[in-house]
Amino acid sequence: MPVVHRQLDIAATPARVWEVITDFASYPRWVPAFEEAEVLRADAASWEVRFVFRLVRAFPYTIRAWSPAPGRLEWALVEGAFRANEGAWALSPLGGGAGCRADYRLDLQFGMFVPGALQRTLADRLLPNALDSLKAAAEAAPTPAAAPQ
């Protein structure tokens, strides 16, 4: 699949968008193609996450994600069904910080033969739908933490 680069403006603060994109375990709730997401390890600025992505069949894989600078998230494949899965999010404030421009880049290479039509479906339909879902999740009011019992 060719490198995909998309940019979208989100009516949420960069901090809110950051919360959504780094809440890896919640990805299956807002991205239908993700069947599973499990954070294996995490610290203040890095994560190791196992995902199961479905595109006709299940593609399990693990990434290492890290934040080299505020508002920037990068990732690379650790293991799994792909030959490569590298990308980045870069967030910048809009409208005095009330909004956010999210710049997304993905270099995804399958580890086996995947027909070109299926790869185009991923790049042209599934990925934009996932980004629209991210936008909707970030723009939705965050769920308040439950009050202690």
Buried b / exposed e along 54-75 (16+ C-beta atoms within 10 A): eeeeebebebebebeeebebbb
Residue 148: pLDDT over 70: no
Segment 67-124, tens digit of pLDDT? 999 999 999 999 998 888 899 999 999 989 899 999 999 887 766 555 566 556 555 6
Segment 94-106, tens digit of pLDDT? 989 899 999 999 8
Q: How far apart are CA 48 and CA 65, in angstroms?
A: 6
Global pTM reads 0.84
Residue 149: pLDDT over 50: no
- Summary mean pLDDT of the chain: 85
Q: Does domain 4-139 have CATH number 3.30.530.20?
A: yes
